[in-house]
Amino acid sequence: MAGLSYICNKNYSITDFDFYVSNNSGAISGIRSFQGTPSYPAQNVFSNTGPSGTFTDFNNTTSNPINYYYNQPLFLPAFFNTPLVSPMPTASTNACPSHICPPPCDIARLLSTLEEEQLTERYDSAEMGYLNLLYSYNQLLDGGNTNVLLDSMQLSWSDNALILRDELLAQSPYLSQEVLMEVAREDILPPAMLLMICLANPDATRRIEFLDFLQYEIPTPLPQYMINLIMSSWDNVTARTTMENFLADFNLEMAVVSNQILADLQHKMANDIDSISQGDTTNNICKLKSWLNRIQTLSAKYNLIEVYFSERDFINAELQLSQIPLDFTLSEYQSQEYTDYIFFYNFRKALIESGADLSQLDNPSIESLILFSQGERNLAKGLAQNALCFYYDICPEEIYALNSGNRMMNTNSPSSLNLDAKKMNASVYVTPNPASSYTSIIYNISPMSSPAVLVIRDIAGREEEKFNLTESTDQLYWDTSNVLSGIYYYSLIVGHTNLSSGKIVVKR
């Protein structure tokens, strides 16, 4: 349930998609499968300007369906691909409060100690509800990721509770209401286990008086969301659907709160603001690591490793890295991302141990990093591309627009948009850049469906060099020994489409 949420956006585009979920970055593409929740609708305004039969409001090209929650027709997408996007009406509202801080932002964004405590309490409440419910969810459903915090909670339960749970489940769904009431009075089972027993015996729970008993009369009363789950087992709305909705609610609350706290801590660290003493950010760093460890998402785990790495604490960084396959059930994409991250981690560690860093690479190391950064983008490849672009001005160019009638379409769009143009992707890397006597141009075109050229021009537009390309991937060499110092621009053209462009600096 982790990932990006589209919340409270206003779209006015007449030339592109409002929301486009690419299938180029794994099965779920980092997008939440619940956009909004039953108690917190997404509340996006769509442009509704797409041609009939296209999915220009919300196009999900992955294989994973997305539930989109809205509360009135104004916030309902008109052009979307069903069943991969499923609009879900809800009676709840979302006021869409602004998160843009008034000037001066450096002061207005900081949280006070009281605000930190209030946010922490919100997170505690949501986390407890999430973990209690996740226990029942995982017990009733096959599969699912292992949650470290959930394991810790289960270890705190008594052996008596585990034995009683197993005995009751063995007799389910034939337990009487009297037995359930006696179990609840004894207070042996924690709420998560008691909920599971009730869900396994729906016939014994079909009385409002029984629900009132669970909510108000037992030593550890069940919260309202658990009562709602028991009621949902009475009708056609399955407990699984209701559980997933509640999990999404709790998870979204945890994400909103933790993101606010993390942003505040990073802001304070960047501006050397600390609650202990001026100039000492140790307290904020400790808080940051504590929260990243608590959040227990895959992205938080990688962020925690990066914090340890920045401190040159390789022991703890590698301990966290080794735990990832144990703490998470990784998809094929995530497994490859993990392998790539280990390579990039070791690449940077070797540099540091030799007294260098990413800003001090020789040409063979730059070319090695370029080759590594190609292919399907993930965290490690993105970090490598950022370093190449920041330190060496080797920046991949992505041109998405393709003119189709009066509407600009994304060249990476699926065939359901009925575009005549074929999907084309191109990347170009130039090294060394700045160049002195020569530069190497590495390009990739996939697929290469028509003749291609790479043209280099000076700042006035005069052609300096032209390469006719016959291979989809190759390495070109441009002799700059007789070229005047200055800025030059390259264009990679396939057919009549400019797929990539950038600059080359010649300097002596």
Question: Of 140-144, 163-167, 282-286, where does the model show the most confidence?
Answer: 163-167
Residues 6 or more apart from 7 whose CB is under 8 A from it?
Answer: 35, 36, 42, 43, 44, 94, 96
The DSSP element (H or E) to which 253 belongs, if any, is helix 239-270
Are residues 152 and 89 part of one domain?
A: no
Span of 15-19, 208-212, 314-318, 345-349 with lowest mean pLDDT: 15-19
| 447-485: pLDDT as tens digits | 777 788 999 987 666 788 999 998 888 899 999 988 888
- Give a yes or no: residue 120 inside a domain: yes
The answer to whether 11 and 40 are in contact (CB under 8 A) is no
| 414-441: pLDDT as tens digits | 333 323 334 567 888 888 888 888 999 9
Are residues 447 and 414 part of one domain?
A: yes
Are residues 479 and 411 part of one domain?
A: yes
The answer to whether 265 and 288 are in contact (CB under 8 A) is yes
Q: Which residue has the higher pLDDT, 421 or 73?
A: 73
pLDDT band at 53 (very low <50, low <70, confident <90, very high): low
Span of 7-16, 104-113, 206-215, 410-419 with lowest mean pLDDT: 410-419
Q: Inform me whether the pLDDT recorded for 71 exceeds 50.
A: yes
| 372-420: pLDDT as tens digits | 888 778 889 989 988 888 787 777 653 232 223 333 333 333 333 323 3
Residue 413: per-residue pLDDT: 32
Distance CA 316, CA 306 (A): 11
The DSSP element (H or E) to which 194 belongs, if any, is helix 191-199
Are residues 236 and 122 part of one domain?
A: yes
Are residues 131 and 74 part of one domain?
A: no
Closest to 304 in 3D by CA, of 290, 292, 321, 322: 292
- Give a yes or no: residue 268 inside a domain: no
Q: Inform me whether the pLDDT recorded for 253 exceeds 80.
A: yes
- Give a yes or no: residue 253 inside a domain: no
Between the CA of residue 388 and those of 329, 383, 394, 400, what are the distances in Å? 31, 9, 5, 22
Residue 1: per-residue pLDDT: 56
Q: The whole model's pTM is what?
A: 0.59
Residue 454: per-residue pLDDT: 92
* Domain boundaries, position 85: 1-97
Distance CA 72, CA 92 (A): 10
CATH number of 417's domain: 2.60.40.1930
Distance CA 257, CA 251 (A): 10
Closest to 489 in 3D by CA, of 459, 469, 466, 467: 459
The answer to whether 241 and 65 are in contact (CB under 8 A) is no
Local structure of 125: helix, strand or coil:
helix
Where a domain ends, among 228, 243, 258? 243
Residues 6 or more apart from 14 whose CB is under 8 A from it?
Answer: 47, 49, 407
Are residues 131 and 211 part of one domain?
A: yes
Are residues 226 and 136 part of one domain?
A: yes
Local structure of 421: helix, strand or coil:
coil
Residue 157: per-residue pLDDT: 61
Residue 109: per-residue pLDDT: 56
Distance CA 66, CA 20 (A): 12
Are residues 68 and 121 part of one domain?
A: no
463-469/497-506 β-pairing: unpaired
Distance CA 49, CA 462 (A): 41
Question: Of 13-22, 342-351, 486-495, where does the model show the most confidence?
Answer: 342-351
Find residue 66's DSSP bridge partners.
Answer: 85
- Give a yes or no: residue 469 inside a domain: yes
- Give a yes or no: residue 362 inside a domain: no
pLDDT band at 156 (very low <50, low <70, confident <90, very high): low
- Give a yes or no: residue 31 inside a domain: yes
Where a domain ends, among 211, 243, 275? 243
- Give a yes or no: residue 121 inside a domain: yes
pLDDT band at 364 (very low <50, low <70, confident <90, very high): confident
User: Average pLDDT, whole number, for the chain?
Assistant: 78
* Angle at 326 (CA atoms; ends 135, 316), nearest 5 degrees: 115
Residue 305: per-residue pLDDT: 95
Distance CA 387, CA 258 (A): 28
Residue 272: per-residue pLDDT: 60
Local structure of 467: helix, strand or coil:
strand
- Give a yes or no: residue 252 inside a domain: no
Q: Which residue has the higher pLDDT, 280 or 170?
A: 170
Percentage, residues of the chain above pLDDT 70: 80
Mean pLDDT of the region 167-192: 85
Residue 309: per-residue pLDDT: 94
Are residues 237 and 138 part of one domain?
A: yes
Residue 148: per-residue pLDDT: 56
Q: Inform me whether the pLDDT recorded for 95 exceeds 60.
A: yes
Residue 273: per-residue pLDDT: 59
Mean pLDDT of the region 183-188: 88
The answer to whether the peptide bond before residue 83 is cis (omega within 30 degrees of 0) is: yes
Are residues 174 and 56 part of one domain?
A: no
Residue 27: per-residue pLDDT: 46
Are residues 184 and 80 part of one domain?
A: no
Residue 468: per-residue pLDDT: 92
Mean pLDDT of the region 43-61: 81
Closest to 457 in 3D by CA, of 445, 466, 468, 449: 466
The DSSP element (H or E) to which 469 belongs, if any, is strand 463-469
Residues 6 or more apart from 403 whose CB is under 8 A from it?
Answer: none
Count structural domains, the chain: 3
Kindly write down the DSSP assignment for every residue of 60-109, as one continuous string: E-SSS-EEEEESSGGG--SSB-TTTEEEEE-S--------PPPSPHHHHT
Kindly write down the DSSP assignment for every residue of 377-410, as one continuous string: --HHHHHHHHHHHHHH--------EEEETTEEEE
Residue 424: per-residue pLDDT: 65
Are residues 130 and 39 part of one domain?
A: no
Where a domain ends, among 224, 243, 262? 243
Task: Quote the radius of gyration of the chain (alpha carbons, Å).
Answer: 28
Distance CA 448, CA 471 (A): 8
Closest to 440 in 3D by CA, of 362, 508, 367: 367
The letter for the amino acid at 242 is: T
